[in-house]
Amino acid sequence: MIQPSELVDLLSGRIGSLTVAPDGSIRIDDPPPGAILPGSFNPLHKGHLGMQQAVVVMTGQPVHFELTVRNADKGELSLAEIERRVAQFRHRHHVILSAAPLFVQKARLYPGRAFVLGYDTALRLVTPRYYGSAEAMAAAFAAIAAANCRFFVAGRQTDGQFHTLADLHLPTGYEQLFTAIPEHLFRCDISSTALRAAQGEKSGRDG
């Protein structure tokens, strides 16, 4: 079980990450080797698991999940909410906790790692306005490249069209950091938002 003091240390930056193993044991600043799939996991669903398995097939290396407890837009998760989301991984997968919502921060935290993400996240990653300017985005990618990090990108259906890495305008000079996850290895037209809506409807009927 995550201790309040550990969460305080994580949010304050005194520690960089907490890894919760499938058996519930916790390691400080010792993320397991392999690629990292960040997300909010509200809930964990077959899309996350499908992306994980696709990159395992592509690389022959493990892929671990990362729950970011501080969101750039939504603030910090409570300890109770973190525990609820972490419980989804129990007896199944490692989950790494960090307070690093930005990929440039993750690159400093996990140098040499690959990150696994969907098209919608990749679109934000390569859009200058999310950084404030094109110059700030270029500086972020320079730091990511210096940390020897890279990205695997899964396609996503949006507005009835399946979008892939090929549809993105990648930053000049950093195209080699991106690898597409082929559609034949992974495609799952599902979203956490739709799942939460469906669960809400079910709860209403059950009630």
**Number of domains composing the chain:** 1
**Per-residue model confidence as pLDDT tens digits over 171-183:** 999 999 999 999 9
Q: Say how far apart CA 82 and CA 41 lie, in whole Å.
A: 10
Q: Does residue 29 fall inside a structural domain?
A: yes
**What mean pLDDT comes out for the span 151-166?**
94
Q: Does residue 54 fall inside a structural domain?
A: yes
Q: Does residue 202 fall inside a structural domain?
A: no
CA of 44: how far to CAs of 59, 135, 142, 150, 205, in Å? 22, 35, 32, 23, 22
Least confident of 22-31, 89-98, 197-206: 197-206
Q: Which two tokens stand for residue 157?
A: 């259906």
- Write out the residue range of the structural domain in which residue 113 sits: 4-189
Q: Does residue 196 fall inside a structural domain?
A: no
pLDDT at 102: 96
Q: Does residue 207 fall inside a structural domain?
A: no
Through-space distance between the first and last CA atoms of the chain, rounded to whole angstroms? 31
pLDDT at 202: 46
Q: Does residue 16 fall inside a structural domain?
A: yes
**pTM for the complete prediction?**
0.91
Please report the beta strands in the chain, taking only residues with DSSP state E, as ranges in sequence order: 17-20, 26-28, 35-39, 63-68, 70-71, 75-76, 95-98, 114-118, 150-154, 156-158, 161-163, 178-180
pLDDT at 189: 84
Q: Does residue 195 fall inside a structural domain?
A: no
**Per-residue model confidence as pLDDT tens digits over 15-65:** 999 999 999 999 999 999 999 999 999 999 999 999 999 999 999 999 999
**Per-residue model confidence as pLDDT tens digits over 95-151:** 999 999 999 999 999 999 999 999 999 999 999 999 999 999 999 999 999 999 999
CATH of the domain at 116: 3.40.50
Q: Does residue 113 fall inside a structural domain?
A: yes
Buried b (16+ CB within 10 A) or exposed e, 128-142: eeebeeeeebbebbe
Residue 3 CB neighbours (<10 A): 11
